[in-house]
Amino acid sequence: MAERALKDSMLKLEEKELAKTRFLAAAGHDLRQPLAAANLFIDALKLTSPTAGQDKIIERLDQAMATFNGLLETLLNISKLDAGVIKPNYTSFKVSELFTWLEQNFAQMANERQLAFRLYFPMKESLVMRSDIGLVKSILMNLVSNAIKFTPQGAILVSARRRGGEVLFQVWDTGMGISRDNIAHIYDEFYQIDNPQRDRTRGLGLGLAIVKRSLLLLGGKITCRSRIGRGTVFDLRFPLNETPIEAPPQAVADTSQEKATAADTFARNKRFILVEDDALVSQAMVGLLEGMGGEVKHFYSAEDALRHADLGYANYYISDYMLGGKLNGIQFLNQVRQRLGRPINGVLMTGDTSPAFIAESTDCAWTILHKPINLSRLIFSLQEYES
């Protein structure tokens, strides 16, 4: 009986987790549609030669949208981790590289809050790790930004040192501290301390959940110690790599500036086929591309677009994933390529961030842009076809 009850309890827990995942995916999709339109309308507004006063308003709109976008990206990262599509890319790198990155990215943020920002790592010993540097940076970013956010005065210290065959990272702050009861829950999703008004500028309460999941992928460990009113320290441990690092490859000339310059004229005299069934998003996208000198033919369904007499006239094909007809965006782009018998320049947009979609789309042949997108992301993705 006890075994049967345990199985039933586990089944109910799994069903609850699946229901929560489906809810988050649906809510995320519905939120992304109007935000995608708002992003594109703001980009279109920038092309209208606004006055100085209007520029300030646009700047504030950009800041508000950046907050929204950041929250949605956090939800997307959780979905990717839950779907198991993030695979560590192991390379060898020096710990000192991480501290250079920390200095460049967080010293100014701490200074603006009048906090001291201190870094400590051994100068006489070259500590080398073998891990996924992108995931390690994401982990440190969440911990350091949290430390800065929740420290009203004092200092932030980030340190690294050898501990046997491991490297021990520590992120110290002199903030408000965390009670013993709260420490047991800080890695739970959406759990936030001292934010009863749910101030969204302070995030969704997913940062430490992402840290925990990322560490599981990397085989790392994390512990937390804290004293109310005195501060908090997070300990992170990663395996050391004793193999010397090979000389880095010769740097390739950076062409990002050339691409940015070309963006101003990218759409001029270009032809686009847009398949998007959301009225606001389609109006914003058409207005933006036409405002940049492009020619756009818009369709609400893949079936309507495929009936277009001159399907092959376009330079670029932009399609939403979830459409009103029987075909989705991936099927549409695949059919266009098949009918024309040649490669096409296609980009897929989607507000679907469910683990199921992310897992299914890992082998997708098309660049996937998660809504809300903005002009720079769209142009960069389309320009990749001209590289």
Q: What does the pLDDT look like over 127-157, one tens digit per residue?
A: 888 888 878 888 888 888 888 988 999 999 9
CB-based burial label for 325 (10 Å; 0-12, 13-18, 19+):
middle
Lowest mean pLDDT among 196-205, 210-219, 286-295: 196-205
Check if the beta carbon of residue 129 is closer than 8 Å to that of residue 93: yes
- pLDDT band of residue 74 (cuts 50, 70, 90) is low
Per the model's pLDDT, the better-predicted residue between 350 and 82 turns out to be 350
For residues 42 and 251, the model is more confident at 42
What pLDDT is recorded for position 105? 79
pLDDT at site 197: 38
For the chain, percent of residues with pLDDT exceeding 90: 16
In order of 78, 120, 140, 343, the CA distances from 240 in angstroms are 27, 17, 17, 45
Residue 327 in tokens: 């075909």
Contacts of range 279-284, beta carbons closer than 8 Å, 24 or more positions apart: 280/33, 280/34, 280/37, 281/33, 281/36, 281/37, 281/40, 281/320, 281/371, 283/37, 284/36, 284/37, 284/38, 284/39, 284/40, 284/41, 284/44
| All residues at 6 or more sequence positions from 156 whose CB lies less than 8 Å from its CB, including other chains | 106, 110, 115, 116, 117, 118, 144, 147, 148, 171, 172, 173, 174
Place of tokens 């440190």: 140
- Span 201-229, average pLDDT: 74
Which pLDDT score is estimated for 242?
Answer: 60
Kindly tell me if the per-residue pLDDT of 375 is higher than 70: yes
Q: Is the model's pLDDT at 119 over the cut of 80?
A: yes
Residue 64: which pLDDT band, with cuts at 50, 70 and 90?
A: low
The string of pLDDT tens digits covering residues 45-55 is: 777 778 888 87
Q: What is the pLDDT of residue 35?
A: 67
| 367-370/346-350 β-pairing | parallel
Please give the pLDDT value at position 331.
92
Spatial contact of 320 and 276, defined as CB atoms under 8 Å apart? yes
Can you list the domains of the chain with their CATH numbers? 21-85+263-387 (3.40.50.2300), 91-239 (3.30.565.10)
Q: Is the pLDDT of residue 383 over 50?
A: yes
Bigger pLDDT: 193 vs 185: 185
> How many CB atoms are closer than 10 A to CB 349?
27
User: Range with the lowest mean pLDDT among 109-123, 124-138, 283-297?
Assistant: 124-138
Tell whether the model's pLDDT for residue 71 goes beyond 60.
Answer: no
As a whole-number percent, the residues of the chain with pLDDT over 70 amount to 68
Global pTM value = 0.49
Residue 199: pLDDT band with limits 50, 70, 90: very low
Picking from 135, 98, 124, 226, the residue whose alpha carbon sits closest to that of residue 173 is: 226
Nearest alpha carbon to residue 376 among 42, 31, 30: 42
Q: Is the pLDDT of residue 314 over 70?
A: yes
Record the tokens describing residue 23, joined without a space.
């809810």
Q: Report pLDDT digits (tens) over 245-279.
A: 454 444 344 444 444 445 567 788 899 999 998 88
Q: Region 234-245: what's the mean pLDDT?
A: 75
pLDDT of residue 170: 93
Burial of 268 (C-beta count, 10 Å sphere; 0-12/13-18/19+): exposed
Amino acid letter, residue 144: V
With contact defined as beta carbons under 8 Å apart, do 148 and 114 qualify? Answer: no
Helices H / strands E in the chain, number of each = 12, 12
What is the average pLDDT across 337-355? 85
Count, residues in the chain: 387
Q: Is the pLDDT of residue 163 over 50?
A: yes
Mean pLDDT of the chain: 76
165, two tokens: 């065959």
Cα–Cα distance, 383 to 370 (Å, whole number): 17
Q: Which two tokens stand for residue 297?
A: 């033919």
C-alpha to C-alpha distance for 243 and 317, rounded to whole angstroms: 47
pLDDT for position 24 = 52
Between residues 305 and 288, the one the model is more confident about: 305
Rounded Cα distance between 348 and 322, Å, is 10
Report whether 51 contacts 98 (CB < 8 A).
Answer: no
Residues 284-307 have a mean pLDDT of: 90
User: Which range among 4-8, 142-146, 157-161, 189-193 shows the weakest confidence by mean pLDDT?
Assistant: 189-193
- Highest mean pLDDT, choosing among 243-252, 333-342, 362-371: 333-342
Q: Are 222 and 235 in contact (CB under 8 A)?
A: yes
In angstroms, the first-to-last Cα distance of the chain is 64
**Cβ-proximal residues to 91 (8 Å cutoff; 6+ apart), any chain:** 130, 131, 132, 133
Q: Which residue has the higher pLDDT, 171 or 17?
A: 171
